[in-house]
Amino acid sequence: MTGKATSEASVSSPEETEPEPAKVPTTEASGEVAASESTGQEQAPEPQKPGSQALDHVAPEASATPATTKPEPPSEDVPSAPLQLTLEDVSHSSLTVSWEPPEKLGKLGLQGYVLELCREGASEWVPVNPRPVMVTQQTVRNLALGDKFFLRVTAVSSAGAGPAAVLDHPVHIQEIIEAPKIRVPRHLRQTYIRQVGESVNLQIPFQGKPKPQASWTHNGHALDSQRVNVRTGDQDSILFIRSAQRSDSGRYELTVHLEGLEAKANIDILVIEKPGPPSSIRLLDVWGCNAALEWTPPQDTGNTELLGYTVQKADKKTGQWFTVLERYHPTTCTISDLIIGNSYSFRVFSENLCGLSDQATTTKELAHIQKADITAKPKGFIERDFSEAPSFTQPLADHTSTPGYSTQLFCSVRASPKPKIIWMKNKMDIQGDPKYRAVSEQGVCTLEIRKPSPFDSGVYTCKAINVLGEASVDCRLEVKVLKDLVEVQGCVNKENVREDP
């Protein structure tokens, strides 16, 4: 016994009769069974009425005497009926059945199974496979759409065929129904906004098999065929409006029907245009360099919400308009920084997604900015005294230097008026000595000692003096001779003498 497969064969009848041409299965290269037109070459068992529980095989014609009649094989030699005949799958052109081996295989062993089918309303059973096959699952392909078949299967041994297992109900070959489904594009899952005069072109894909029927409604009512065009194909439905008007706004519902199943999708369309200007505007008050305005919202907002108002001003002299406020939501405002002596007009635009209103509402009266008698009263100015005695904010730091390398000493002083800086070495004034260079800039005092020697070591003092006092700071400078450097130089000289020939 083998596992489930898709290879089939048919059982030949010993009777040499030529049946009428009928559609019978044939074996394909893949091992599955395909339906074809029978030519009468294959012999099949005599058909049995659909729904019977036993397979009546064709026997040789009976002779005039009972002695020539072929006896039926003993029940112990033939196998019993296969078990659990089940329809596994059915499509628009094929079917698949499976079964389990019989309880009794017969004394002579099992040679295979024969699958037969009979069209509804007919009496002839047609074998699917020409000879028994050792499989427990078969697939029959290339069946005609709309046919109904009864199925039965028998187990065959060398002694003959056993009783048949018959499928309880006929198999209907029909097109597979795929439930309808609508795929709304992402940009249409929110309100679809168009301006008046623009075209609306909605392409909504859908799925379904066989081809479903699609229908549209606008706010629950049928579409106006004079304004809206609809074209439905196999996979999508297109709604087209050549020139949209505000009356086209609303909810459009697409419904796809398929044999009792349906899918719906809603698309909200909003057709907008520019708003009207504010209904009225009034100059409330003028004071100083300020003016207060108030206006009322427009009667027509353009079929959408307002984004705000744009307020502009123009002086009487130039007549040029300048924007003061943009997308301003309240209906009252105060305009400041107006020029004294000028007279101003004001106007207000409404704004929505389409832009500013074509017209603006302008104030009928001018706002005159009067010149006020203003007398300046300067406050008394108290001059601050910044005089300060010298004080060092950064003192001198002790320093160690090497002979022959210039070094610098730094400190910083704060004083007002500017102090006089005196540098000393070991309490002796060193100003005028060319070996030293003193610089004082922005309160930073610097003393540069050019190529110092050990003789230049000592205590250095920086003294700052002005009319308010004086201050001084000290540091110690050491100029050290590197003895190791002298020893290294001596070794180098000895090596040079040795190498001299």
Say whether pLDDT at 326 is over 90: yes
Q: How far apart are CA 246 and CA 200, in angstroms?
A: 12
Report pLDDT for 24. 42
By C-alpha distance, which of 284, 338, 287, 291 is closest to 315? 338
Which amino acid would we find at residue 56? D
Neighbours of 71 (CB within 10 A): 5
Report pLDDT for 55. 35
Report pLDDT for 496. 53
Residues forming a β-bridge with 438? 447
State pLDDT tens for residues 245-281.
999 999 999 999 988 888 999 999 999 999 999 999 9
Q: What is the DSSP secondary-structure string of 231-242?
A: EE-SSEEEEEES
Alpha-carbon separation of residue 498 from 429, 470, 488, 489, 490 (angstroms): 51, 63, 16, 15, 13
Q: What is the DSSP secondary-structure string of 251-264?
A: EEEEEEEETTEEEE
Report pLDDT for 325. 94
Report pLDDT for 244. 95
Report pLDDT for 483. 63
Q: Which residues of 423-448 are buried (b: 16+ CB within 10 A; e: fewer)?
A: bbbeeeebeeeeebebebeebebbbe
Say whether pLDDT at 305 is over 50: yes
pLDDT mean over 427-452: 91
Please give the mean pLDDT across all residues of the chain. Answer: 81
pLDDT mean over 308-319: 93
State pLDDT tens for residues 190-249.
999 999 999 999 999 998 888 889 999 999 999 998 999 999 998 999 999 999 999 999
State pLDDT tens for residues 46-101.
434 444 333 333 333 333 323 333 445 556 778 888 898 888 888 878 889 999 99
Tokens standing for residue 137 = 């699952």
Report pLDDT for 56. 38
Report pLDDT for 384. 82
Category of 498 on φ-ψ map: left (φ > 0), alpha (ψ -120 to 50) or beta: alpha
State pLDDT tens for residues 333-372.
999 999 988 999 999 999 999 999 999 999 999 999 888 7
Q: How far apart are CA 60 and CA 17, in angstroms?
A: 10
Residues above pLDDT 70, as percent of the chain? 80
Of the listed ranges 316-320, 421-425, 483-487, the least confidently predicted one is 483-487
Tell me whether strands 112-119 and 126-127 are parallel, antiparallel or unpaired.
antiparallel
pLDDT mean over 309-324: 94
DSSP helix/strand/coil, 417 = coil
Report pLDDT for 43. 38
Say whether pLDDT at 4 is over 70: no
Report pLDDT for 495. 54
State pLDDT tens for residues 445-471.
999 999 999 899 999 999 999 999 999
State pLDDT tens for residues 6-61.
444 333 333 333 333 344 444 343 344 444 433 333 333 443 444 433 333 333 33
Q: What is the DSSP secondary-structure string of 84-134?
A: EEEEEEE-SS-EEEEEE--S---TT---EEEEEEEETT----EESSSS-BS
Which of 155-159, 202-206, 377-381 reaches the highest mean pLDDT?
A: 202-206
Contact at 8 Å (CB) between 9 and 131?
Answer: yes
Report pLDDT for 75. 65
Contact at 8 Å (CB) between 6 and 135?
Answer: yes
State pLDDT tens for residues 102-115.
888 877 778 889 99
Q: How confident is the model at residue 142 (pLDDT cuts 50, 70, 90)?
A: confident
By C-alpha distance, which of 268, 306, 313 is closest to 290? 313
Tokens standing for residue 447 = 């003393």
Report pLDDT for 187. 92
Tokens standing for residue 386 = 């910044």
